[in-house]
Homo-oligomer: A and B are copies of this chain.
Amino acid sequence: MATRADVAKLAGVSESTVSYVLSGKRPIGDATRRRVLDAIDQVGYKSNYAATALAGGKPRMVTMMISNLFSTPSSRIVGALVDGIVDGVRDSGFHSVIWPVTEDDDSDVDLLIKSNFSGGVILMNVKENDQRVHRLHQEKIPFVVLGRTDVGFSYNYVDRDFDEVYRIALSHLKDQGHTSIGVMFTDNPVRDSLKKIAAQLKVNLVRINTQDTFEGGAQIAKDFRKSFPHVTAIVSLLDAAAIGFTNAAEGYGLAIPRDVSIIAVNMLENQAENSIPPITTVAFNAYELAKSCGSMMVEIIESDKGKKLHKTQLWVGDLIDRGSTAQYSGRKRS
């Protein structure tokens, strides 16, 4: 267990010099730096996380605060997000942990703050006027929220660009020959922007009402052929409903690859003669969104020093075509 002191001795410098070489917070002579760096991997030095935290440093650690990690129908989507963040954060040389929290208890948050546990926090499943947002803001701990809530001040967040997602999804399906495309909705009216996109592409939009629940989606799948005989593809930005739909659809003769956050599915059956490619998927890539979010989080940590938070809008509309090799879950693609 080599410490900074061992490194300093070997390199013939003071302990603080070692620290400054590592943190880059002070200009260091080239020769000195090299000797320190050499010493570091000679003795196999690794920084002590607890000591950094205690001394008031910025731990290179990103914490994902999640409630109901696995217990909701949309856990699969959250899972893709978490996977993406883990990889994004790791790529930036940080560590990440998942901090399971209960919604009715702030003590988890307190521990994290009190102990200077985390260089930054990613919040998921944020509710209206979430207390965690207030606590983190007030303690000046860098954080970003996945999704948006009104809390009375501005903060960093990441969200999907729904219009863009629709645009890409619809045009993709159009290109494949679909003309009548179902879109899942709850009660809310169809946005004008979506109508415009459909009009531009000259596709017929068929509204499909459902609850954004697993069961809601499954129900759609069940009645689908009867209820929407002319619809050949379907688009959904409702996470739970999309999952329910795709899970159930398989059994109703709608050959659909399971995927995370399916937003657009070609539902033609696998017929060789058909001119429209069968079983293709356009997926909203939750993983990629999350991965960029991870990197962004790290950037905030490194630049902001908890002093100022600026509103950042990161619209991610990355869509991919997985073809027929879609995986069960939102795994990292090579």
The reply to whether B98 and A97 form a contact with Cβ atoms under 8 Å apart is: yes
Residues on the B chain within 8 Å of A69, using CB:
79, 82-83, 86, 98
The answer, yes or no, to whether A114 is at the interface (CB within 8 Å) is yes
Q: Does A329 contact B (CB under 8 A)?
A: yes
Q: Which of A46-54, A152-160, A197-205 contacts B (4 or more CB under 8 A)?
A: A46-54
Q: Is the CB of A115 within 8 A of B50?
A: yes
Q: Is A18 in the interface zone, CB < 8 Å from B?
A: no
Residues in chain B near residue A331, CB distance under 8 A: 71
A121 at interface, CB cutoff 8 A: no
A329 lies within 8 A of B72 (CB): yes
Chain copies in the assembled complex: 2
We find that the number of chain A residues with CB closer than 8 angstroms to chain B is 54
Q: B51, B70, B95: which contacts A54 (Cβ < 8 A)? A: B51
Residue of B nearest to A51 (CB): B54
Chain B residues with Cβ below 8 Å from A48 are 54, 114-115
A108 within 8 A of B: yes
Contact partner, A50, options B54, B72, B86, Cβ 8 Å: B54
Does A169 reach chain B (CB closer than 8 Å)?
Answer: no
- Quote the shortest CB–CB distance from A164 to chain B (angstroms): 25
Closest to A100 in B: B86
Stretch at the interface among A228-236, A249-257, A295-303, A312-320: A249-257
Q: Is A111 an interface residue (CB 8 A)?
A: yes
